[in-house]
Chain A
Amino acid sequence: MNKTSAFLTDATICIGCKACEVACKEWNEVPEDGLLWTGFSYDNTQALGASTWRHVMFLEQPATAGPQQVDMENPFRWIFLSDVCKHCVHSGCLEGCPTGAIVRTDVGSVLVQKDICNGCGYCVVSCPFGVVDKRHDDGRAFKCTFCYDRQSAGMMPACAKTCPTQSIKFGEREDLRAEGIARVQELKARGYADAQLYNPEETSVGGTHAMFVILGKPDAYNLPPAPEVPTVYLKSAWTSALLAAMVVIAVVCAAFLF
């Protein structure tokens, strides 16, 4: 197939309907992920995980910027955003996987092959976005597949297909990246002074295949502002290990000679 698929998810068009969550679960037969009421606005899903691959966030905030007219004493806004696996250009889970279960597909996505995964859990702690997790009754790690099966059949992912307002856009990464940049300019011109495109290219992650148009800081969405692929930590860690190992050899030698 050889294209570079991407998502551009735009919070300013999202109406918080959660159709993406449901469509994803229906298509991919993802099990129920907890019948727990959280009180976090309308978000009872809380976070992405092994059994939640699209997660709609609800932020109730003082409106620091924006043209919306709200008949309230203190300006206020309610923002919705559908979170998803970032399918990083340099992916922590992929690098960390010891069985080779996690691979890069020919559409540029990151896929967990569930027939190989043995549930070691290393991907879980290697993801700087907190996406992939283990299903405890099943034992394996799961995350968004980018509807690879649908893409292979020439269709778009279930969430993008179902989104009624096209907040979730699907297409070629370069196109969507340009569109995201243009959209942020447009929003700023309309008075959304804190609009930005979330696509961490300046870190070791090198950008993601799931980009987001958000209002305000990424921190408010639990999007890491400067995520790193944990392999950047390897060099210093191994160096320390080897140095310490040499010290241990010396100490043991000294112990016997002493």
Chain B
Amino acid sequence: MPGLGTTYGRGGATTAPSDVVNSDVVLIMGSNMAENHPVGFQWVMEAKEKHGTHIIHVDPRFSRTSAVANTWVSLRAGSDILFLGGLINYVLQNNLDFREYVLHYTNASVIIPEGFKDAEELDGLFSGWDPATKQYDNTTWLYQGVKQDESSSDRHDNSQSGGHSQHGVDSSVDLSTYEQDLTLQHPRCVWQLMKRHFARYTPDMVARYCGVTKDAFLNVAKIYTSASGPDKTGAICYALGWTQHSSGVQMIRCAAMLQLLLGNMGRPGGGILALRGHASIQGSTDIPTLFDSLPGYISMPKFGYSSVDLASFIKANKPKTGFWNNIDKYIVSMLKAFYGEHATAENDYGFNWLPRLTGDHSHQAYFLDMMDGKMDGLFVMGQNPAVAAPNSGLERRALGKLKWLVVREMVETETATFWRDSPEVTSGELKMADIQTEVFLLPAAGHVEKDGTFTNTQRLLQWREKAIDPPGDARSENWFIYHIWERVVEKAKADPRPRNQGLLALQMNYTITGPRREPEAPEILQEINGYTTADRKLLKTFGELTADGSTTCGCWIYTGVYPEAGRNRANERDPKDEYGHGWGWAWPADRRVLYNRASAKPDGTPWSERKKLVWWDEAEKKWTGKDVPDFTATKPPTYVPPPGAEGDAALAGDKPYILHADGMGWLWVPVGLNDGPLPTHYEPLESPIANPMYAGQQANPVGLRRTRPGNEYATSPDTRFPYVLTTYRLTEHHTAGGMSRTLSHLAELQPEIFCEISMELADELKIEHGEWVTLVTARGAIEAHALSTSRMKPLTIDGKRVHQIGVPFHWGYNGLVKGDIGNDLIAISEEPNVRIMETKGLLCNLLVGRRSTNVERLKEYHSIAEGKTA
């Protein structure tokens, strides 16, 4: 998310999957789209078959996506930045960029001050590195000439955020005051810095360290860069193959930069399709289940001066220019939604009832706290950490340290039964009697048994109507939260402590209906949409929000989904045009292609007839076209902001990236990322080679390894773990299999765990196709059938042969089909911006034979990790 968010302003897919029919080329990388987004993939196939679009798939494995792509190129897992950097270098060296777009719509021309030192100069570190805190101070990354306000003292403390909110916003810095050289010749303009930075990412370098043949790489470069210019566009699709890496955000940044250089953003058939991990994950970051984000990507207040009251918070988070300038309106309206009449100007609208971040409260962090005995209890809803979390073996042990655990699920997941049949318990390593956790399993309603919306990868809200009542005691989340609230509030009323004020102030004014007393879901959506506080008149746009409490709005980016009584746009199913307007509702404001101002020239006319999307209508004096303009409708292309202008008025008529303070697409990210203004290649946390770019920095220096007993790492390289392992999903199962292993129609399609190895590795180790093998990493060991196939290709990396092994992670110890748990192999690690673990490239060993359930033998596996036995 921050990869896209910092580059463009919003962290989400910038277009809809159906838009790829307009692409001339589609690059799928870090994704197995056909297998994991098969319905979205229909448009890729349509593009290929009906429009002659060239589909390129770059991946360590030849998967079902590769099978239907026009071009497949192999890749060493984790070397994506080398490859993408190679593409960027190819563009820069050969002047293949879309120059007019780059000049006007990106910060390529902006000048960076002299204090900045690139990673190329500091052997893998950028300037501003503090070895004590292991963090960067980004002062040297800011634009030359910008004014800074140092009074915001916790500005530099990145330890508390997860980077999910307010991308690229730092209100202590006024990024609208920059200096630029539109000839791109100034030695410290972004353009020249990029050229120097990517100079070593040559095709030879790529071939040598990515395991791709040079011709194949150049072929991709040629094809992809040809889809650029006024008449052509190309799209990039990525998914967890990029995000679940220790430099994942920077991988995405490379792609985002490439799209800006080629002028593909905001245009039909262009854009970046960030394919989200499952059905409503977009929704669960919009109305977040993330620890560091409030609805609509507002930052969660941190413990510190910047959040001592509402005014300080707003000061810290309200940049002078760009759409985030309205954050006071967004947050006050949100607080009104939380606290209703209890939120008044006098009490800062209840701002001080919001919790404060005191550190890293992400999933990994609190599970480690749990392991250390620091947590009493946990609610687990719609998640199955016992098999789905990284280092799931450690997480299962951590669950055993809780006093109580509530699991709300449709099926009896491994998280609910860990205490009696996890592998540790069945092998005897842990005794059931020693696990004191009291586990409550509450039945949950399935998606056809409750009303509500999904928000899918293209930011589209689609309402689901309840078809039947959930059986027995199963209940929806709305019901559960509401009824827990009722009971807890009753107890809180009897408890006079001030800490209960916020709880008692919470407003849940929904109509409760039915014998089960269910809150009316449409009312919740209306509250999210927003209405005037006084008379509950629904709002049509977030432009109507105010900072004085007269509007109530749960999530400002969703305003417009329920614009008037009786009109739930998420429930509309009448598509009127090729962009699907009339089917569901996309945020923001039903704009289907974000940044679509960039589909027109600076003067407002389309780049070409073939690629027109949105343009300025001089007669009507507004922007018009095939999509809702992602721009102030009446702002003319020639608009020049008056001095001292604020917010959106401070952005010129040719600045499409309206969430950014400077309105431009950021090739260079001055603020918002913890690990650098430009992507640079680091190896994954476990790698078969030393970092070819920098002797001084092997892996991402800002990433967290959380090394501790039970969460150890291999060295890079490591003779004990000679093979590269990547984990992935299959179409047939859903995430870690909790819901699909219990359904016979799915379970029978992929009933047993297998790992994919090359024919060459099978020959080398004398492994029979189908036989049981054990995969061992520094964290754990699992068994799988060996599927030897020509689809896995051994790579030549720097002259030596490197084997890659793939294993899907869909199995667990419950369900119709059972198998070992892939996530037992993964380490708990945190990418520096979003805290996500690295699952896509690690080191392993492969032993013939089944995993022993004998406790002593298991210890042998662990001692392999500790280097005691080979």
Contact = CB atoms under 8 A, between A and B. Distances in A.
Interface of A: 12-13, 15-19, 21-22, 25-26, 31-37, 39, 41-42, 44-45, 60, 67-72, 74, 76-80, 164-166
A76 to B, nearest CB: 6
Contacts of A36: 751
B437 interface: no
A19 B731 CA distance: 9
A78 to B, nearest CB: 4
Interface string B43-58: 0011001000000000
B749 A21 contact: yes
Contacts of B34: 15-17
Contacts of A42: 64, 730, 750
Given A15-B65, A42-B64, A70-B72, 19 more contacts: A15-B45, A15-B64, A16-B731, A18-B731, A22-B745, A31-B744, A32-B816, A34-B748, A35-B744, A37-B750, A37-B751, A39-B770, A68-B72, A70-B66, A76-B791, A79-B67, A164-B38, A165-B38, A165-B46
Nearest to B68: A15
B790 interface: yes
Nearest to A73: B793
B793 A35 contact: no
A77 B66 CA distance: 9
A35 B67 contact: no
B386 interface: no
Contact of A78 (B64, B212, B769): B64
Interface string B195-221: 000000000000000001100100100
Contacts of B587: none
Contact of B750 (A25, A32, A44, A78): A44
A13 B45 contact: yes
Contact of A68 (B41, B71, B752): B71
B92 to A, nearest CB: 24
Which one of A17, A25, A34 has the highest number of Cβ atoms from chain B below 10 Å of its Cβ?
A: A17
A17 B38 contact: yes
B555 interface: no
A197 to B, nearest CB: 17
B315 to A, nearest CB: 49
Interface residues of B, number: 48
A41 B64 CA distance: 11
Contacts of B749: 18, 21-22, 44-45
Given A32-B744, A44-B749, A166 B790 contact: no
A69 B65 CA distance: 13
16 contacts: A13-B45, A15-B35, A16-B34, A16-B731, A22-B745, A22-B749, A35-B751, A37-B752, A42-B750, A44-B748, A45-B748, A60-B790, A68-B70, A76-B62, A80-B64, A165-B41
Give the dominant DSSP class at A's interface. loop
Given A70-B72, A80-B64, A39 B748 contact: no
Nearest to B216: A71
B439 interface: no
A22 B733 CA distance: 12
Given A22-B746, A60-B789, A69 B74 contact: no
B39 A164 contact: yes
Contacts of B71: 68-70
Interface in B708-744: 730-732, 744
A176 to B, nearest CB: 16
B817 interface: yes
Interface of B: 34-35, 38-39, 41-42, 45-46, 49, 62, 64-74, 212-213, 216, 219, 730-732, 744-752, 754, 769-770, 785, 787, 789-791, 793, 816-817
B745 A78 contact: no
A67 B54 CA distance: 12
B804 to A, nearest CB: 14
B763 to A, nearest CB: 15
Nearest to A62: B790
Chain B: interface secondary structure?
Answer: mixed
B744 A69 contact: no
Given A17-B34, A17-B731, A164-B38, A77 B748 contact: no
Contacts of B751: 35-37, 44
Contacts of B62: 70, 72, 76, 78
Contacts of A39: 754, 769-770, 785, 787
Contacts of A35: 744, 747-748, 751, 816-817
A71 B748 contact: no
Nearest to A33: B748
A246 B480 CA distance: 84
A36 B747 CA distance: 10
A5 B732 CA distance: 29
Nearest to A70: B72
A34 B817 CA distance: 11
Contacts of B793: 71-72
B791 A68 contact: no
B385 to A, nearest CB: 26
B69 A15 contact: no
Contacts of B39: 164
A81 to B, nearest CB: 12
B76 to A, nearest CB: 12
Nearest to A36: B751
B72 A69 contact: yes
A78 B791 contact: yes
B789 A32 contact: no
Given A39-B785, A78-B62, A71 B745 contact: no
A166 B42 contact: yes
A85 to B, nearest CB: 19
Contacts of B38: 15, 17, 19, 164-165
B42 A16 contact: no
A15 B33 CA distance: 10
Contacts of A74: 790
Given A39-B769, A71-B72, A15 B745 contact: no
A62 to B, nearest CB: 8
Contact of B41 (A18, A44, A164): A164
Nearest to B62: A78
B573 to A, nearest CB: 16
Closest 7 pairs (CB-CB, A-B): A32-B744, A37-B752, A78-B67, A39-B770, A71-B216, A17-B38, A35-B751
Nearest to B36: A17
A15 B34 CA distance: 6
A18 B746 CA distance: 9
Nearest to B819: A37
A34 to B, nearest CB: 6
A36 B770 CA distance: 12
Nearest to A77: B67
A33 to B, nearest CB: 6
A16 B66 CA distance: 12
A80 to B, nearest CB: 7
Contacts of B41: 15, 164-165
Contacts of A19: 38
Given A37-B785, A44-B750, A17 B35 contact: yes
Nearest to A162: B39
A79 to B, nearest CB: 7
B772 to A, nearest CB: 11
Contacts of B213: 71
Nearest to B223: A69
A37 B748 CA distance: 8
* A19, A68, A77, A165: most-surrounded residue (chain B CB, <10 A): A165
Contacts of A72: 62, 74, 790, 793
B140 to A, nearest CB: 40
A67 B48 CA distance: 13
Given A17-B34, A31-B744, A165-B45, A71 B64 contact: no
Contacts of B70: 67-69
A232 to B, nearest CB: 37
